[in-house]
Amino acid sequence: MSLETWLPALIVLSSLLPGLIIFMLREDDHRLRTSLNLLGALVKLLLVGMMIWGVFHERVFETRWTLAPGLDLVLHADALSMLFVTLSTALWLVTTVYAIGYLENAPNRSRFFGFFSLCVTATVGLALAGNLFTFVIFYEMLTLATYPLVAHKGTPEAVRGARIYLAYTLAGGMLLLVGAVWLRTLAGPLEFAQGGILGNIDGLNPTTLSWIFLLLIVGLGVKAALVPLHGWLPQAMVAPAPVSALLHAVAVVKAGAFGIVRVVYDVYGVEFADSLNLLAPLGAVAAVTIIYGSVRALSQDHLKKRLAYSTVSQVSYIALGTAIAGPLATIGGMVHLVHQGLMKITLFFAAGNYAETLGIHKVSEMDGVGRRMPGTTLAFTIGALGMIGIPPVAGFVSKWYLGLGAVAAGSAAWVMPVLIASSLLNAAYFLPILYRAWFREPTREWPASPGHSGRLETHAFLLWPPVITAALALAAGLFAAAPYSPLEWTQIIAAREYRE
Amino acid sequence: MNSLPVWPIMLPLGAALLAVIWPRRSAWIGIAASLATLTAVGLLMAQVASRGTLVHALGGWEPGLGIALRADALAVALLLMSSLVALAAGWYATGYFRDANRQSQFWPVWLLMLAALHAMLLSADLFNIYVTLELLGLSAVALAALGGGRAAIEAALRYLTVGLLGSLAFLAGVAVMYTRYGTLDMLALAALIEPGPASWLALSLMTAGLLVKSALFPLHFWLPPAHANAPAPVSAALSALVVKAAVYLMMRLWLDLFAPILGPASAWLLGLLGAAAVLWGSWSALRAQRLKLLAAYSTVAQLGYLFIFFPLLAALPPGPARDTAFGALVLMALTHGFAKSALFLAAGMIQQHAGHDRIEELGGTARALPVTTFTFALAGVALIGLPPSGAFLAKWQLLSSAIALGQWLWVPVVAAGSLMAAAYVFRVLGFAFGPSNGVMQKLADGREGLPALLLAIVATAVLGLGAAAVWHFVAPGALLTEAQR
């Protein structure tokens, strides 16, 4: 019983236990609830820091618990899981601060923060999952923990959005389950390994493997919002802003994308998957999703809906990078897992601030908002420019590596047009917002904002999170070449996946 | 210590008599007896875990003449579930029946039912099984009628008729067995049993009786009204324990006593009926207008899963793969027992506070009864078969066996059943989370929600994370046929 066997479990427990305690708190126990939330988030960050240090020094962290004959719950730290764990942990801390400010005086906060913690627990669990069985467990738990958050407001639209979300994700989860069980009967315990495991097993039928791949990718594609499985995502934006932020940047959508990465790289092995001709269809779906999401975003006047369609588009960069099959594209796709998270969470925080402080929900109401809320709007601007892919914001780095990877893999002919079209479309739906916010005159009186002293443009707990995440997005681009940057970390992963 | 198997029967039986004599103290007697029974079962379990199957002949008479009790791992696992569920449901009942008169009507029959159930689980002899089955059926009917009201009485009468027909068929099968083999002791029968018309006839008759009692589609028609109209703690026990008793006997006959002479083909019929039960039960639950009716139809569906295991187990040769599938079957039955009793108790809470259980009028429940809503959701997770419940692991192994054996038919059935279960559970939760229509304004949750919550936690977390212990305990040496080898 050493630190190596306990640390992964502790990281999962550091949000599970506060969550369970919070459920039992009385509604007006505001101070204790806030302390527990922040304490859990900080402890988790500390533990993750220890683990990164350990993984860097090639120590092996693994928690193993037998659930059934031949089925182990495995939490295992490798370079890829650390990428996602670090992202979720850091953004959980920021989002918790934001949510505390956002939900001040709202009803049912114990329920909200309880499920909020469970949601992060499930995300971190699936990031640390060491085999496909464990991944499926946390993937389904994530679905369950998110449902009450989407339905939180209790309005008919919220309940409807949550129902649609659930119908999509549970059906997808079922396909994933069948695929995982099927593969388990053929290929043994399915412990994730860099370079893949199926290529080393003899006597597997390629046709069967292709069918299983289809089941797994469709199951994961629902959460990753691949077209035509994306229908739930725009509906789920009825959730409170911190939930949308978490949903789009770290938890649900990313869980699907992360699962695709795991299945392609660490179960099938990217070279083996390519030899089965499985990656080209995945790339085609990703390309269609990128363009389709952007086109739909153009026509949305509702700000959160526009951002939701933007997520549909942007998350597929990860699948695209996976499908191109080449180390450079792998770097581009994986690093976008982090970069898109930082930028999108900034945008949703900002959208939440506009709605909370000024009652702005639509793009057409945003004229002149930059002068009223300069901090929030600056953060929004950085996020939006990053999404378009303008240097030096992080999004540029992702696109640069995706482009390089496409050229190196000889698929530039179809990837480059997709990337260019997507950038143009992103510009077409983000730049008008920026123009309105900064250069148009306000069309109406701003309402007196309730609940803060007036020195800041809004509640401090609402203002700082987007500013911090925007700064991180900028830093991830500016210092991409520095040690410990997301880019450097993905370069290590790519080198191991391709066994160079 | 060899008399240990007697106590889980004698304690509730004695308490039932005390409760008749001393009606004012019946609730105290009942709770004390339930606790004592649970302790006895715990001790028995420790003995079985360390020393293997225990056999006890009442009064020292040889098996074949006297009454023999046999506690093997399967029986003890179910005993533990039944004593835990009975304790929680009984605890809940102390608050549910508000006037002392109802309490004193409830407890003697309740304890009698528990004694009959435990005696059936521990019987080593087909005739004693018939007697206890009859006792169990009669006490269950009496409990179901406690709801009062026309619907409850009608349902109970139908339950009585069907139950008697079932027992009669079972008794006829037992008679055929006695004529052919000259003994009814199961251990002796396991050594003698051979293929032949008499064996087939006996098995068919006993199976027909048990299928009626276990409400396998299309013989399920009596279950939903009986379970939905009974008082909540009774519904919990009927759905979680009483129908499970008939399934337990099916397991004894098909997977144990008759297993060596059965080909895989006949078990397919049970599997197909089980599949139909999963689909029809889930569909009916989805369309149910009342919460307790939903829970009752859900039982029809969940029992179907248990029967899907039969063709899989029949096709698997003895060995680790069969042990794993058998353990999954037991885990599924246990998880359903805890989850369904929690669901019925939660439904009872909602019904008492709202004054009705019409699903579409349950708006605001999540706010007024947060603990009960949480209990309902947890139990629902186990019924759908999502992680971390025990049913998830059982379903994983069910799918795994089906795929490995090439019995692909069960895969879409399980998938469709699970998705429909999700639909009916979240349909309720959708209304519960929705806006209140003014029925329940004030926060009404109290300690009375605790028993249901604990049951739901057992189904969803304890049986999930501790499932390896179930496999370890149940799989090897659980059966008569193992003892023979």
Cα four-point dihedral sign B257, B263, B265, B268: positive
User: Smallest Cβ distance to B430: which of A108, A140, A163?
Assistant: A163
DSSP state of A375: H
pLDDT single digits (tens) B344-390 = 999 999 998 888 889 988 888 888 888 899 999 999 999 999 999 99
Whether the Cβ atoms of residue A405 and residue A439 lie closer than 8 Å to each other: no
Partners of residue B468 in chain A, C-beta under 8 Å: 66-69
Q: Tell me, what's the pLDDT at B64?
A: 60
Which chain B residue lies closest to A72 (C-alpha atoms)? B468
Do the domain assignments include residue B391? yes
Do residue B419 and residue A69 have CB atoms under 8 angstroms apart? no
Per the CB < 8 A criterion, the answer to whether B382 and B335 are in contact is yes
Q: Report the domain count for chain B.
A: 1
In a domain, B253, yes or no: no
- Across the A:B interface, residue pairs with CB atoms under 8 Å apart total 90
Is A353 a domain residue? yes
- Which neighbouring-strand residues pair with B71? B54
Report the number of distinct structural domains present in chain A. 1
Residue A436 lies in a domain: yes
* Helix or strand run (H / E) with residue A187: helix A156-187
Sign of CA dihedral B141, B144, B149, B152: negative
**pLDDT surpassing 70 at residue B484:** no
Report whether A306 contacts A429 (CB < 8 A). Answer: yes
- Cα gap B21→B19, rounded to integer Å: 5
Q: Is the pLDDT of residue B343 over 70?
A: yes
Within-domain flag for A453: yes
A133 contacts chain B (CB < 8 A): yes
Nearest CA in chain A to B415: A174
Residue of A nearest to B464 (CA): A67
Q: Locate tokens 């930082």: which residue?
A: A342
Q: What SS3 state is found at A96?
A: helix
* Interhelix angle A374-388/A460-478, nearest 10 degrees: 30
* Cβ-defined contact of B426 to A147 (cutoff 8 Å): yes
Mutate to test the interface with B, among A20, A170, A218 (most CBs of B within 10 A): A170
Q: How far is Cα A359 from Cα A378, in angstroms, rounded to an integer?
A: 19
Give dist(CA A376, CA B212) in Å, integer: 67
Better-predicted residue by pLDDT, A26 or B116: B116
In tens, the pLDDT along B65-100 reads 678 899 989 999 999 999 999 999 999 999 888 888
Are A400 and A477 contacting, i.e. CB atoms less than 8 angstroms apart?
no
Taking a C-beta distance cutoff of 8 angstroms, is the pair B429, A163 a contact?
no
User: Range with the lowest mean pLDDT among A99-113, A165-179, A341-355, B18-32?
Assistant: A99-113
Comparing CB atoms, the residue among A71, A155, A162 nearest residue B393 is A71
Give me the residues of A, 175-214, that contact B with CB < 8 A.
Answer: 177-178, 181-182, 184-185
Our CA-based measurement puts residue B144 at a distance from the nearest CA of chain A, in whole angstroms, of: 35
End-to-end Cα, chain B, rounded Å: 26
User: In one letter, which amino acid is B408?
Assistant: W
Close Cβ partners of B46 (under 8 Å, ≥ 6 residues apart) = none
Whether B393 sits inside 8 A of A67 (CB atoms) is yes
Structure confidence by residue, pLDDT tens digits, B40-61:
999 999 999 888 888 888 776 6
| Beta carbons within 10 angstroms of residue B94's beta carbon | 18
Nearest to B403 among A148, A159, A182 (CB): A182
Per-residue model confidence as pLDDT tens digits over A230-261: 999 988 888 899 999 988 888 899 999 999 99
pLDDT computed for residue B209 by the predictor: 95
Nearest CA among A306, A293, A244 for reference residue A432: A306
Nearest CA in chain A to B405: A185
- Helices (H) and strands (E) counted in chain A, each on its own, are 20, 2
Q: Is A2 on the interface with B (CB under 8 A)?
A: no
In a domain, B423, yes or no: yes
| pLDDT at position A454 | 63
Single-letter amino acid code for the residue at B433: F
Substitution target from A135, A181, A186 for chain B, most B beta carbons within 10 A: A181
A73, amino acid identity: L
Nearest-CA distance A118 → chain B (Å): 13
Q: Which of residues 11 through 30 in chain A touch B, CB cutoff 8 A?
A: 23
pLDDT (mean) for A155-171: 92
How far is residue A360's CA from residue A352's CA, in Å, rounded to a whole number?
A: 9
Mean pLDDT of A155-183: 94
**Given a cut of 90, is residue B427 above it in pLDDT?**
yes
Task: Write down the pLDDT at residue A451.
Answer: 52
d(CA B231, CA B345): 9
Sign of CA dihedral A366, A381, A458, A243: positive
Question: pLDDT tier at B485 (50, 70, 90 boundaries)?
Answer: very low
Q: Exposed e or buried b for every residue in A228-246, given b needs 16+ CB within 10 A?
A: ebbebbbbbbbbbbbbbbb
**Is A444 within a domain?**
yes
Q: H or E segment at A68?
A: strand A62-68
Q: Do A71 and B418 touch (CB under 8 A)?
A: no
Interface test mutation site (partner B, options A71, A166, A182, max chain B beta carbons within 10 A): A71
**Three-state DSSP state, A34:** helix
- Residue whose token pair is 């051979």: B194
Question: Taking residues A305-324, what's their average pLDDT?
Answer: 93
Q: Do B370 and A111 touch (CB under 8 A)?
A: yes
- Which chain B residues are Cβ-neighbours of A17 within 8 angstroms? none
Backbone angles phi, psi at B319, to 5 degrees: 155, -175
SS (H, E, C) chain B: CCCHHHHHHHHHHHHHHHHHHCHHHHHHHHHHHHHHHHHHHHHHHHHHHHHCCEEEEHHHCCECCECEEEECHHHHHHHHHHHHHHHHHHHHHHHHCCCHHHHHHHHHHHHHHHHHHHHHHHECEHHHHHHHHHHHHHHHHHHHHCCCHHHHHHHHHHHHHHHHHHHHHHHHHHHHHHHHHCCCEHHHHHHHCCCCHHHHHHHHHHHHHHHHHCCCCCCCCCHHHHHHHCCHHHHHHHHHHHHHHHHHHHHHHHHHHCHHHCCHHHHHHHHHHHHHHHHHHHHHHHHCCEHHHHHHHHHHHHHHHHHHHHHHHHHCCCCHHHHHHHHHHHHHHHHHHHHHHHHHHHHHHHHHHHCCCEHHHCCCHHHHCHHHHHHHHHHHHHHHCCCCCHHHHHHHHHHHHHHHHCCCCHHHHHHHHHHHHHHHHHHHHHHHHCCCCCCCCCCCCCHHHHHHHHHHHHHHHHHHHCHHHHHHHHCCCCCHHHHHC
Task: Report chain B's mean pLDDT, rounded to a whole number.
Answer: 90
In this structure, chain B runs to a length of 485
Average pLDDT over residues B145-163: 90
| Interface predicted TM-score of the whole assembly (ipTM), two decimals | 0.92
Q: Which of A23, A67, A154 is facing B433, going by the closest CB pair?
A: A154
A159/B387 Cβ within 8 A: no
Are the Cβ atoms of B435 and A177 closer than 8 angstroms? no
Question: Is residue B204's pLDDT more than 90?
Answer: yes
Radius of gyration of chain B (CA): 21
Q: Judge: A67–B464 Cβ closer than 8 Å, yes or no.
A: yes
Interface contact flag, B434 A174, Cβ < 8 Å: no
Q: Do A182 and B433 touch (CB under 8 A)?
A: no
- Indicate yes or no: CB of B430 within 8 angstroms of CB of A159: yes
3-state secondary structure of A47: helix
Residues of B with a Cβ under 8 Å from any A Cβ are: 320, 323-324, 327-328, 366-367, 370, 374, 381, 386-388, 392-393, 396-397, 399-400, 403-404, 411, 415, 418-419, 422-423, 426, 429-430, 433-435, 464-465, 467-468, 471, 475
Q: Flag if B426 and A155 touch (Cβ within 8 Å).
A: no
* Domain range for A469: 337-500
Closest Cβ opposite residue B396 in set A71, A167, A171 = A71
Residue B365 in tokens: 């429940």
For A356-359, the CB contacts below 8 A with 24+ separation are: A356/A102, A356/A241, A356/A458, A356/A459, A356/A462, A357/A449, A357/A457, A357/A458, A357/A459, A357/A462, A358/A446, A358/A447, A358/A449, A359/A447
Paired strand residues for A76: A62
Q: Do the Cβ atoms of A58 and A78 come closer than 8 Å?
A: no
Range of the domain at B378: 269-485
Task: Give the per-residue pLDDT at B446.
Answer: 66
**Dist CA A406 CA B429 (whole Å):** 47
Res. B1 pLDDT band, cuts 50 70 90:
very low
Selection from B478, B447, B429, B175 nearest residue B325 by Cα: B478
Q: B73-77, B111-115, B145-149, B312-316: which has the minimum mean pLDDT?
A: B145-149
Q: What are the b/e assignments for A166-186, b being 16+ CB within 10 Å?
A: bbbbbbbbbbbbbbbbbbbeb
For the entire predicted model, the pTM comes to 0.94
Q: What average pLDDT does the structure give for chain A? A: 90
Strand, helix or coil at A64? strand
Asked, for residue B291, whether it belongs to a domain, the answer is yes
Residue A55 vs residue A130, higher pLDDT: A130
Residue A143 lies in a domain: no
- What type of residue sits at position A305? K
Distances (CA, A) of B29 to B17, B35, B90, B181, B466: 10, 10, 11, 44, 32
| Residue in A65, A137, A167 closest to B387 by CB | A137
Which class for B177: exposed (0-12), middle (13-18), buried (19 or more C-beta within 10 A)?
A: buried
Contacts of A66 in chain B (CB under 8 A): 468
Do the domain assignments include residue A464? yes
Question: Is it the case that residue A499 has pLDDT exceeding 70?
Answer: no
C-alpha dist (Å) from residue B54 to A4, A306, B57, B70, B471: 43, 68, 10, 6, 19
How far is it, in rounded angstroms, from Cα B479 to Cα B74? 8
To which H or E segment does residue A76 belong? strand A71-76
The answer for residues whose C-beta is within 8 angstroms of residue B48's C-beta and 6 or more apart is: B54, B71, B72, B73, B76
Q: How many CB atoms lie within 10 A of CB A484?
A: 11
Mapped onto helix, strand or coil, the DSSP state of residue A229 is coil
Chain B CB contacts of A178 under 8 Å are: 399, 411, 415
Task: Give the percent of chain A with pLDDT over 70.
Answer: 98
Whether residue A445 is contained in a domain is answered as yes
Which residues, 6+ apart, have CB-to-CB distance to B363 below 8 Å?
Answer: B431, B432, B434, B435, B436, B437, B439
Q: Is A478 on the interface with B (CB under 8 A)?
A: no
Q: Nearest by CB to A171, which of B367, B374, B419?
A: B419
Kindly determine whether residue B415 and residue A174, on different chains, have CB atoms separated by under 8 Å.
yes
Is the pLDDT confidence value at B483 over 60?
no
Residue B196 zone, left/alpha/beta (φ > 0; ψ -120 to 50; rest): left
